[in-house]
Amino acid sequence: MPTLFSRIIAREIPADIVYEDEHVVAFRDIDPKAPVHILIVPRQEIAGVAELPDSGDHQHLLNAARRIAEQEGLVDGYRLVINQGPGAGQTVDHLHMHLLGGRPLGWPPG
């Protein structure tokens, strides 16, 4: 069964896609926690950080994040988050990086 995010990547489920290249697809979170809240997803189905192969599409997540942050005009800064496992709040078992910005971001996160 394809993951929820693979179905978004395949355009089977609608989403506001803001960026894509041969390795990753990025779209706005359906339940945003900041004015800018984008999920950056490798095309490759990797369940999470705990299952990362040595190489693959996930190696392009950071470069995509930089490009999207520039595209979104996040000149004051932004935060990149990956939740690994239920204890950290991971709810979709397809690796994804949250890009959050557009408001002051407290530290430490909850």
Tell me if 29 contacts ligand 5GP by CB under 6 A.
yes
How far apart CA 71 and CA 85 sit, in angstroms, is 30
Catalytic residue among 58, 94, 96, 98: 96
How far apart CA 5 and CA 103 sit, in angstroms, is 26
Q: Is 94 a catalytic residue?
A: no
How far apart CA 102 and CA 52 sit, in angstroms, is 30
Q: Which is nearer to ligand 5GP, 22 or 31 (CB)?
A: 31
Tell me if 91 contacts ligand 5GP by CB under 6 A.
yes
Pick from 47, 65, 46: nearest CA to 56: 46
Contact residues: ligand 5GP, CB under 6 A: 4, 13, 15, 27, 29-31, 39, 83, 89-92
Q: Which residues are catalytic?
A: 96
